[in-house]
Amino acid sequence: MILHDQGVFRLDTDHTTYVLRITQFSHLEHVYYGRRLPEGEDLSVLAHRNSIMTGTSVMYDESDETYCLDNLCLEWSGIGMGDYRMSPCEIVMPGGAYGCDFLYQDHSIVEGTPQMQTLPSSSSLSESQTLVLSLRDRTLDVRVELYYAVYEACDVITRRCVVINGEDKTLSLRRIMSMSIDMPDRNFSLVTFDGGWIKEGNRHDRALAPGIYINSSTTGWSSNRHNAGFILRADDTTEDRGDAYGFNLIYSGNHYGAVELSNHSLVRVQLGINPHCFDYLLNTGNRFETPEAIMTFSGDGLNRMSQQFHDFVNRHVVRGEWKERGRPVLTNNWEATFFRFNHPKLMATARRAKKLGVELFVLDDGWFKGRDDDTAGLGDYAVNKRKLPFGLAGLSRRIHRMGMMFGLWFEPEMVNRNSDLFRAHPEYCLTTPGRAPALSRNQLVLNLCLPAVREYIVENVGRILDECSVDYVKWDCNRHISDAFSPSLDSQGEFFHRYIIGLYEVLDRIFTPRPHILFESCSGGGGRFDPGMLYYMPQTWCSDNTDPVDRLKIQYGTSLCLPIASMGSHVQAARNAGRVTSLAYRADIAMAGTFGYELDPTKLSADELDDIKDINEQFRAWQPLIQQGDFYRLLSPFDSSQYVAWMFVSPDKSEALVQCFTVLAEPNRWDLRVYPRGLDPDALYEVEDWAVELHGDTIMHAGLRLQMFGWDFMSRNLYLKRV
């Protein structure tokens, strides 16, 4: 709910309150963000009391020598008026100066979330309200609109901004954040999720120190190096207690999250498009939309904060027919065959998988003409007739006849030099004039700023999807951007952003007419795992690393800011990582996601085949609990390398699944307990396997002892059902 009273705006969600106000000089002051406050109080008294100017402080206006922008908690700031913290905007104004000072003009409160023209955004007609604050520069007709969409039930507020150029000269936007917020420091620590290829999502915590910490990406995508999601937590916050602010961005390009601890002990948090190589020209009368930033606060620890993120993304970012719908158990042939397959081999794999209860067969890389390794064929859409004599349509038909769904891999944004596309249109790929473009995995990036390239992708991918009756698409993207240049642009500073807008246009044109297709995004695993991609594709292949031990960290880390239902996770063959683990262990970890297989089922033993049938049945029984339940992290792989545990609780608390894993077991550790969370304290639960009944409270406080858990790489599932 959004309330306005005498220049004070109060935004309430079920458990949080956000307050801002208009100051006497028309700046927007941030007053409060945190636990929900009692109603009916005059919150303007929480505003900053003017302070005595000290030493080098700059006076904003001669009429009030105590008003200094540097001391204020602001919702937005300009440049050159005495606020020396990083500004959310850096604009070369019509006269060539950077100075700008945005003052409140008016506001509106609308039902729902207004949609953007160029970028994906969250949506809801009946479950959100939006505050739009219009600001204008003190002297020039340059306006900024700040949007605050309030999602009460999810405890989420989103923020974005729009810049409008009313001057008769072009503006140059060098930096324009989606949000900026200042809060008093409470010994905050910043939590980020870092890594790289095959090691995504590693959690890092550090206490804030004076200065600026930047969590950003320059790869062209949201990146596997530093995920866009990050957290600010109080120093004593744990999974179950304490204050945590979570931030994420509905954007798939270069992101920039910055946290500044100022000399006045104020913390400024910003999130938006990375200003790196950014210079956007905004002509007279034009608008520039920033991506939408997600903010959520929990006073009850990180688990609650993650659940809020999960609910929000599942309900208000993911769209289409697969939203909140159980995903099919799949088998993907990549780790089973790599490029070495043919029609009979695929059919044998699919037949065997079908017998095991697998529902979707996915043909990965290697199906185009000339694609026998990663040096050739990308960019072409002719089918490799030697491998697939009946074509894709023939394969798809046979798979469907078996009663399975058919899925197909694409990597539409890329091209090999050894391809018909490159030979015909070398100008389609990214090249810096006068330089040979840099290769990565033997491929170049297509220039999605060019309409002809977008057309080529939409037409060819669309044609195959329709001709071959495809039910699932894995949309891969196996390299970072280099040679960022497009001859179509007046300012190369627009390149990275325009590329992403081009990608979104392509996805829209392919996705919207085919809502029945389940899309999974992938970028060598989690190189582009962000809510922007989840808007088009409800799931993302978390990592190319399918080793279960490594996956514990990757999936655990990813779960902080992104939903379990969006995390692609599959069972690998026993020895793929050189670490031998049991099928049960691999499957239990893969179950905490969309679930499937990356192995050759024709090479499994009779025992393994029997086990997989049971595992699939078990997964289907637990799937609603896993994909729609509340997720709780219990024992972290980042705290101890030995034991990891997490659990799922159904929304009505009638059932729960606790999953526990050893990595390297501790010798002679005879009492290991796990303390479940989120149960109904007064309800009686049966602990399956143990044939005992205990109250939720007892289970949560006394814990469950894990018997026979003394070996490396063991897993244990404890299923609890309300009696």
d(CA 323, CA 328): 13
In angstroms, the CA 347 to CA 370 distance is 21
Taking the least distance from each CB to ligand DGJ, the nearer of 158 and 416 is 416
CB of 328 or CB of 366, closer to ligand DGJ: 366
Cβ-based neighbours of 578, under 8 Å, separated by 6 or more: none
Q: Which of 350, 522, 534, 615 binds ligand DGJ (CB under 6 A)?
A: 522
Evaluate whether 293 touches 271 at the Cβ level (below 8 Å).
yes
Query: Which residue, among 613, 528, 567, has the nearest Cα to 217 in the 3D structure?
Result: 528
Would you count residue 409 as binding ligand DGJ (CB under 6 A)?
yes
Nearest alpha-carbon partner for 597 in 361, 398, 407: 361
Region label for 403, one of left (φ > 0), alpha (ψ between -120 and 50) or beta (otherwise): left
Catalogue the E-assigned strands of 290-364.
292-298, 330-332, 360-363
* Closer Cβ to ligand DGJ, 364 or 471, answer by number: 364
Residue 524 makes contact with ligand DGJ by CB under 6 A: yes
Which amino acid, residue 330?
L
State which residue, 278 or 595, has the beta carbon closest to ligand DGJ.
595
| CA–CA gap between residue 90 and residue 174 (Å, rounded) | 5
Catalytic residue of the set 101, 311, 544, 588: 544
Check binding of 544 to ligand DGJ (CB under 6 A).
yes
Q: Which of 275, 525, 678, 696 binds ligand DGJ (CB under 6 A)?
A: 525
Q: Which is nearer to ligand DGJ, 257 or 548 (CB)?
A: 548
Q: Is 476 a residue of the active site?
A: yes
Burial 100-119 (b: 16+ CB within 10 A, else e): bbbbbeebebeeebbebeeb
Q: Which residues is 721 bridged to in the sheet?
A: 655, 686
> Looking at this protein, which amino acid is placed at residue 47?
A
φ/ψ (deg, to 5) at 89: -140, 145
Shortest Cβ distance from residue 601 to ligand DGJ (Å)?
A: 17
- Residues 6+ away with beta carbon under 8 Å from 78: 87, 89, 99, 100, 101, 102, 137
Stretch that binds ligand DGJ, among 380-388, 518-526, 530-538, 656-664 (CB under 6 A): 518-526
Return the residues of window 475-494 that contact ligand DGJ according to CB under 6 A. Answer: 476, 478
Judged by CB under 6 A, the stretch of 147-155, 344-352, 521-529, 654-662 that binds ligand DGJ is 521-529
Tell me: does residue 364 bind ligand DGJ (CB under 6 A): yes
Give whichever of 69 and 408 is closer to ligand DGJ, judged by the CB atom. Answer: 408
Q: Are 346 and 333 in contact (CB under 8 A)?
A: yes
Window contacting ligand DGJ (CB under 6 A); options: 1-9, 522-530, 679-687, 694-702? 522-530
Residues 6+ apart with CB under 8 A from 605: none
CA Rg, the chain, in Å?
A: 27
**Interaction residues for ligand DGJ, span 636-655 (CB under 6 A):** none
**Residue 178 Cβ, how far from ligand DGJ at the closest point, in Å?**
29
Q: Which among 88-96, 157-165, 507-515, 520-528 is the span making contact with ligand DGJ, rule CB under 6 A?
A: 520-528
CA distances from 356 to 42, 589, 605, 610, 611 (A): 64, 19, 13, 8, 9
> Quick count: other Cβ atoms within 10 Å of Cβ 184?
12
Q: What's the closest the beta carbon of residue 622 comes to ligand DGJ, in angstroms?
A: 25
Contacts of residue 424, defined as CB under 8 A and 6 or more positions apart, other chains included, come to none
Rounded to whole angstroms, how far apart are CA atoms 90 and 258? Answer: 15
Angle at CA of residue 11, ends 30 and 110, nearest 5°: 115
Residue sitting closest to ligand DGJ (CB): 365
Site size for ligand DGJ (CB under 6 A): 11
What token pair was written down for 302?
Answer: 């990180």
Query: Active-site residue among 12, 182, 476, 550?
Result: 476
Nearest distance, CB of residue 492 and ligand DGJ, angstroms? 29
Closer residue to ligand DGJ (CB): 290 or 478: 478
Return the residues of window 21-80 that contact ligand DGJ according to CB under 6 A.
none
544 is catalytic: yes
Task: Verify binding: residue 541, ligand DGJ, rule CB under 6 A.
Answer: yes
Q: Least distance from C-beta 478 to ligand DGJ, angstroms?
A: 5
Distance (Å, whole) CA 525 – CA 535: 18
In the region spanning residues 325 to 344, those forming contacts with ligand DGJ, defined by CB under 6 A, are 334
Report, as residue numbers or ranges, the catalytic residues: 476, 544
Residues that bind ligand DGJ (CB under 6 A): 334, 364-365, 409, 476, 478, 522, 524-525, 541, 544
